[in-house]
Amino acid sequence: MAGDRAATTGTAASVEFRQATKRYRGQDAPAIQSLTLEVPAGDICVLVGPSGCGKTTALRLVNRMIELTDGDILLDGQSIRKRPAAELRRGIGYVIQQVGLFPHLTIGENIGTVPRLLGWDRQRIAERVNELLELVSLPDDLRDRYPAQLSGGQRQRVGVARALAADPPVMLMDEPFGAIDPINRERLQNQFLRLQAEIRKTILFVTHDIDEAIKMGDRVAVLRKGGVLAQYATPPELLMHPADDFVEDFVGADRALKRLSLLRVRDVDLWKAPLAHAGRPTADVRAALAEADVPHPLLIDSEGRPVGWLSERDLAHDTVPETPDTAAEPIVELDDIVRDALSDLLRSDTQYGPVVDEHGRVAGVLSVELISHFLSSSRATEQAMGPAERVAS
């Protein structure tokens, strides 16, 4: 199995558009206009833009479902024009919105299509099918069912498995989750990101939903009508420095908040809390307060778990009391998404939240102020998670 699995995590190739242009017959305006962008091997590049802007066209140019009018596209530096279309396509996974499973073939046969074209022996195909079913976490008794007998979500995953069958270095996905309702959609997105963390393919992913783009993309290419590239950047860059008004509108007014959903608390360098243990002399605490970012000391128990904030009144005694005035609410975890943490901070009146590690020990303090500082600092960009980590938890 391990060996087989290796196969799935094997190859990945860079994809490069060079002045790629497509003008449909009988249409004067081009659907894609000298599009130039490079997708590093193993990355997810999301093509996003309003309906009719040329996303599907761009995608289908890559596996030559549509022929270029002008310019070129390179896979691992080699022009697609040089290779016979059919052979080229077998080396590129293709998942379309409506999945398009073959209704007359079993799930197993569907997934095995390309390997069969490549002339693998039955034994090998069978193994590969099982392996892929496991990979997309489908029970392997589905193998002999027909597409009509599967739920929308299951079909979706079969579609992905089928595209992965011959372990293609590149995958094209056209609104793969477009047809699915918001609730299941989220689940599928996460499953897929976990899968990608494992297989690390180069993926071109089309959507018209900016949130999906930000969630799924290592890099996002925003297209505007006429297939013109408006901006090509990582999600954080996109949110922080929209290239122009079109992009700014497209990413939405609350883009700063969107950016927070790309961050985990551990990415922010937290404030040091002036810590205090019950029974210790308050003098030391006051001393510590001096060079602390937080105006109040945080009382912790013997295991270092936060108990509460000490008020001036608490410090009036000369030893730190057992029970502080205000509880240490809300408690934030290192793995929390910053966006949710902020939401908690805003909800509870306090400006500060003690941050704890997996053992519940205080690791620092998060504050609204800190978050805004952090956002405006460039670090947010570097720190931002790749899509895969976003679903680690």
Partner 1 sequence: MLSSVVVPVLAQVQIRSRSGNSCIEKNRLCPGWIVDHFDRYTQPLVQHVVLTVTSVAIGFAIAFALALLTRRRRWAVGPILGFTGILYTLPSLAVFFLLLPITGRGTLTAVIALTAYTLQIIFRNIIIGLENVPVDAKDAGLGMGLTDRQLLWRVELPLALPDIVAGLRIASTSTVGLATLAVFAGAGGLGSEIISGSNITFKTGVVAAGGLALLLALALDVVLLVAQRLLTPWRRVNAA
Partner 2 sequence: MIHPTFALLSNFSGAFDFIFHTREAQTGGVHVGGLHQVLSFTWEHVKLSGAAILIACAVAIPIGLVLGHAGKGELVAITISNVGRAVPSLALIAFFVAYIGVGFTNVTLALVLLAIPPILTNTYIGVRQVDPEVIDAGRGMGLTAVQVVRRIELPLALSSMFGGIRTSAVNVVATATIAPLAGVLTLGDFILSANVYGADGRLAGAILVALLAVAVELAFATLQRVVSPKGLKVST
Ligand X SMILES: Nc1ncnc2c1ncn2[C@@H]1O[C@H](COP(=O)(O)OP(=O)(O)OP(=O)(O)O)[C@@H](O)[C@H]1O
* Interface positions with its own copies (CB under 8 A): 50-51, 181-183, 208-209, 240, 253-257, 260, 337, 339-340, 342-349, 351, 368-369, 371-373, 375-376
Report the nearest approach of its own copies to the CB of residue 208 (Å).
7
Residues facing 74 on adjacent strands: 16, 79
Q: Which does 56 bind (CB under 5 to 8 A by kind): partner 2, Mg ion, partner 1, none?
A: Mg ion
Cα distance between residue 214 and residue 235, in whole Å: 5
Sign of CA dihedral 28, 34, 37, 39: positive
310 CB contacts (<8 Å, ≥6 apart)?
276, 285, 296, 297, 298, 299, 320, 321, 324, 325
Tell me: does residue 82 bind partner 1 (CB under 8 A): no
Tell me: does residue 26 bind partner 1 (CB under 8 A): no
For helices 182-199 and 152-164, what crossing angle results, to 10°?
A: 20
How many CB atoms neighbour CB 248 within 10 A?
16
User: Mask 196-235, x = binds ligand X (CB under 6 A)?
Assistant: ------------x---------------------------
**Among the listed residues 11, 21, 57, 63, the single contact to ligand X using CB under 6 A:** 57
Of 191, 201, 203, which Cα lies nearest the Cα of 10? Answer: 201
Closest CB to ligand X among residues 27, 378: 27
Binders of Mg ion in range 75-134 (CB under 5 A): none
Report the nearest approach of ligand X to the CB of residue 158 (Å).
22
**Among the listed residues 9, 19, 36, 52, the single contact to ligand X using CB under 6 A:** 52
**Among the listed residues 25, 104, 123, 359, the single contact to partner 2 using CB under 8 A:** 104
Name the CA radius of gyration of the chain, rounded. 26
Cα distance between residue 43 and residue 219, in whole Å: 8
Q: Which residues bind partner 2 (CB under 8 A)?
A: 63, 65, 85-92, 94, 96, 98-106, 113-114, 117, 145-149, 159, 162-163, 172
